[in-house]
Amino acid sequence: MTDLLIRGADLIGRGRSDLLIRNGRFVDPADAGGDVEQLDADGLVALPGLVDLHTHLREPGREDAETVDSGTLAAARGGFTAVLAMANTTPVTDTAEAAEHVAALGARDGHAQVVPVGAVSKGLDGVELAELGLMSRSRAGVRMFSDDGHCVSDARLMRRALEYVRAFDGVIAQHAQDPQLAGPAACCHEGEISGKLGLPGWPGAAEASVVARDVQIAELTRSRLHICHVSCAETVDVIRWAKQRDINVTAEVAPHHLMLTTTEVLGYDPTYKVNPPLRPNEHVEAVQEALADGTIDAVATDHAPHARHDKEHAFAEAAFGMLGLETALAVVMETMINSGVLSWPELAKRMSITPAHIARLADQGRPLAEGEPANVVLVDPAARAVVDRAVSASLSRNNPWHGRELPDAVVATIWAGQVTYQKGQ
Amino acid sequence: MRHLLSAADLDRTQITEIFDLAEEMSLVQGRPVKKLPALRGRTVVNLFFEDSTRTRSSFEIAGKWLSADVINISAKGSSVSKGESLRDTVLTVAAMGVDALVIRHPASGAPWQASRWIDAHVLNAGDGTHEHPTQALLDAFTIRRHLRRSTPDLMSFDGQTVAIVGDITHSRVARSNVLLLTTLGARVILVAPPTLLPPAIDSWPVLTCTDFDEVLPHADIVMMLRVQRERMSGGYFPTPREYTMSYGLTRPRLEAMKPGAAICHPGPMNRGLEISADAADAANSLILDQVAAGVSVRMSVLFELLGGAE
């Protein structure tokens, strides 16, 4: 295998240096021999490959919406070298065999590392624990468990799950949404706009009240709790309180919650129907601030591809979710870097180092240093482009960023020494 | 006017135009031959995704009296369960070459989505818990007629107080009426228990009150809303009895109304629940006038949308 020499990249915004990749790892650039491929990274920032804690790859089950192949190609285009594949597939990832199947699909088709997330409850039905231990001991090595799409609303089941996964350093990732406060018809943020549009909504309290309960259970059980897609100021307050008490809780925010607000739903376009819903601007500011100060630990895409026909129903009946992998870094740059709120090293923490640590991925989120696995993304901090939903590796087109100008961030993505994406090629 | 989706689409001049034309249209109702050639050769499809007797038949009669070809399509049941998307259904109907689609849908916003997919005119005949603009038009038209009995040259509703009483949260009639009546200058007071007032109601151009008896003596028009059956078991209020005692237009409340004030109800009524039989059939009840006005107003709206040169 030829060596790859990346010339003159700014390593995580800390200064320019060359990077030499040999056999999937970084080696001393001074060792570059004759047989070397070169990649000019002048003016580019090198970040450790991004890690997405929250991806819906849809395979097995909905291969018309996304596959492991197309989803991880989208990941590579977005600068990701690892994705956590959510369990709400068909069949649900709630057994060791199902987890190994997803891992095997990843090994076969993946353009990034595919790590299965196990379901907390059998069939995501919130009643009985799935085989958490067997999934953790399987070849898939599951460490993160989530009923995402559904809330683990039964407090006793949540307690048992948190207690049980302590045995193998697992983490429960909660989709916090009280099913009583967010009724079955709820489809957007409850507030001025939902009232005027006549759409049933759910308030921040439906999220924050579950988080408040769960951090108390995590304190009781001394377990690792992760809060998926924090969308509102109320939840931020609860997590801030919990961290002050040294409760072992981490949290993620989705890119769309960092920028888009409830006003997007004014035209009843189901592209903007997402769970948790887009919230008013004060919530967007609250989650941005929380991401900046570390109350929210990570950005996770909640990449949720849907076949076009599943989004062409009336708003209340259309599927929840939007694409995110290809645009996540651009959105975080736009909202956090370009406004000077976050530095490159902090961004690397939020999008690579910390998510890798939460998911216990040994080869991800590592320093760009000799001997480390060569997972790296090269970022152009200045280029911009108008997002075109037709230009995408995803099989789906529910792209809320279509027509918006954003940073045209990713120049190349390298996973385990292999170039998985290179702009213009 | 390309579509009629929201009562907010109309300014005071347009509303007055629709009303004046509706007055002319209403003359047809009294004739032995109830037919005008205005929309001959035009096709109007009533695309109803939800059961409705009065609105559908009102649109049907309105279209037929204008000589349009009127076709009723019932597409009940959720598009998700049928496997056909809303877009497919709308495109299929539009592909037959219709000039106007009158859409009733149980989901809020469906007519907005439809209007983006097709070239035909779209008329919102009630979308979910959002809007019902022709209902608001016929309500306001009825109110205008009522007010003109004492003030024949009345042009606006300035100085008039309209109380809308009941389940505001789930009422498309209330939303459209708030928009239309405030455009016409009326002061609107929404009366409901807090559980049936929409979120962020402070941002609406209305007053709200949870005490019907406090509002009643000030209202020139009392508009009662239907209580849907499913709300009765939804925990929005403890019992039908308590609802009637607190928010029903009972006989004692009928007697406490301001002299000259009138009663409206979009129908169908739950007699004994939100409105007593005494109130429904009272001399100052405009409820049947509303039904009659419905046809004239819808004729007027159909003509506004389809009658001009294309």
What's the CATH code, domain B7-131+293-306?
Answer: 3.40.50.1370
Six token digits for residue A16? 């320019």
Residue A267: how many CB atoms within 10 A of its CB?
A: 14
Q: Residues B125, B52: contact at Cβ < 8 Å? A: yes
CATH value of A3-45+373-422 in 1.10.3720.10, 2.40.50.140, 3.30.465.10, 2.30.40.10:
2.30.40.10
Are B167 and B124 in contact by the 8 Å Cβ rule? The answer is: no
Model confidence over B212-253: pLDDT tens digits? 999 999 999 999 999 987 777 778 999 999 999 999 999 999
Q: Does A196 contact B198 at a Cβ distance shorter than 8 Å?
A: yes
* Band (B83; pLDDT cuts 50, 70, 90): confident
Is A109 a known active-site residue? no
Q: Give CA–CA dist A119/A260, Å, rounded.
A: 29
- Determine the residue type at B228: Q
Give yes or no for a contact between B108 and A198, defined as CB atoms under 8 angstroms apart. Answer: yes
Question: Of all residues in chain B, what percent carry a pLDDT higher than 90?
Answer: 86
Pairwise CA distance, residues B120 & A375, whole Å: 54
- Contact between chains at A200 and B204 (C-beta distance less than 8 A): no
CB contact under 8 A, B109 and A312: no
Residues of A in contact with B194 (CB under 8 A): none
What pLDDT was estimated at residue A213? Answer: 98
Q: ipTM for the complex?
A: 0.93
Give the residue among A13, A3, A6 at the shortest CA–CA distance from A336. A13
Inform me whether the C-beta atom of residue B81 falls under 8 Å from chain A C-beta atoms.
Answer: no
Tell me if B86 and A313 make a contact (CB, 8 A cut-off).
Answer: yes
Q: Contacts from B191-194 at CB under 8 Å and sequence distance 24+?
A: B191/B163, B191/B164, B191/B165, B191/B166, B191/B215, B191/B247, B192/B165, B192/B166, B192/B167, B192/B168, B192/B247, B193/B236, B193/B237, B193/B243, B193/B246, B193/B247
The residues spanned by each domain of chain A are 3-45+373-422, 48-358
What is the rounded CA–CA span in Å between residue B199 and residue A310?
Answer: 29
What is the per-residue pLDDT for B80?
67
Query: Which of A191, A269, A313 is facing B80, going by the closest CB pair?
Result: A313
Tally of CB atoms within 10 A around B4: 26
With contacts defined as CB-CB under 8 Å, which chain B residues touch A191? Answer: 199-200
Contact B113 A316 (CB under 8 A): no
Report, as ranges of residue numbers, the positions in chain A whose pLDDT lies below 50. none
pLDDT of residue B305: 95
Q: Which helix (H) or strand (E) holds B309?
A: none
Instruction: Kindly indicate the confidence band of residue B78, based on its pLDDT and cuts at 50, 70 and 90.
Output: low
**Its pTM surpasses 0.90:** yes
* B277-297: average pLDDT: 96
Q: What is the pLDDT of residue B58?
A: 96
Q: Please name the member of B108, B131, B201 whose beta carbon is closest to the beta carbon of A315.
A: B108
pLDDT of residue B172: 97
Active-site hit among A302, A310, A363, A380: A302
Q: Give the Cα separation of B283 and A165 in Å (integer).
A: 72
Q: Which residues of A touch B80 (CB under 8 A)?
A: 313, 317
To which residue do tokens 């309500």 refer? B139
Kindly list the residues from chain A whose CB atom is less than 8 angstroms away from the CB atom of residue B110. Answer: 268, 314-315
Cα distance between residue B14 and residue B280, in whole Å: 31
Q: Do B198 and A197 touch (CB under 8 A)?
A: no
First to last CA, chain A: 20
pLDDT band per the 50, 70, 90 thresholds, residue B155: confident
Q: Using a CB–CB cutoff of 8 Å, tell me whether A384 touches chain B.
A: no
pLDDT above 70: residue B11: yes
Contact B199, A191 (CB under 8 A): yes
Nearest-by-Cβ selection for B108 from A190, A192, A316: A316
Query: For chain B, how many helices (H) and strands (E)?
Result: 13, 9
For the segment A315-360, what is each residue's pLDDT rounded down to a tens digit?
999 999 999 999 999 999 999 999 999 999 999 999 999 999 999 9
For domain A48-358, give the CATH number: 3.20.20.140
From A103, A24, A129, A48, select the one nearest A377 (Cα to Cα). A48
Domain with CATH 3.40.50.1370 in chain B: 7-131+293-306, 133-290
SS3 A8: strand
Residue B310 has pLDDT above 60, yes or no: no
Q: List the 200-239 stretch of B: residues with Cβ below 8 A of A.
A: 200-201, 203-204
CA angle, residues A234, A237, A241, in degrees to nearest 5? 145
Q: List all residues of chain A from 269 to 308 with a beta carbon under 8 Å from chain B.
A: 269
Question: Would you state the pLDDT for residue B82?
Answer: 75
Contact of A278 with A260, CB cutoff 8 Å: yes
Say what the pLDDT of residue A324 is. 98
Mutate to test the interface with B, among A312, A320, A397 (most CBs of B within 10 A): A312
Q: Is the peptide bond before A276 cis (omega within 30 degrees of 0)?
A: yes
Q: Name the CATH topology of B133-290.
A: Rossmann fold (3.40.50)
Picking from A194, A269, A314, the nearest residue to B105 by CB comes out as A314
Residue-level pLDDT at A416: 97
Cβ-Cβ contacts under 8 Å, B85 against chain A: 309, 312-313
Q: Do B199 and A317 touch (CB under 8 A)?
A: no
Contacts 24+ apart (CB under 8 A), B84-90: B85/A309, B85/A312, B85/A313, B86/A312, B86/A313, B86/A314, B86/A317, B86/B110, B86/B113, B86/B114, B87/A309, B87/A312, B87/A313, B87/B113, B87/B117, B88/A309, B88/A312, B89/B47, B90/B47, B90/B114, B90/B117, B90/B118
Calculate mean pLDDT across residues B12-23.
96
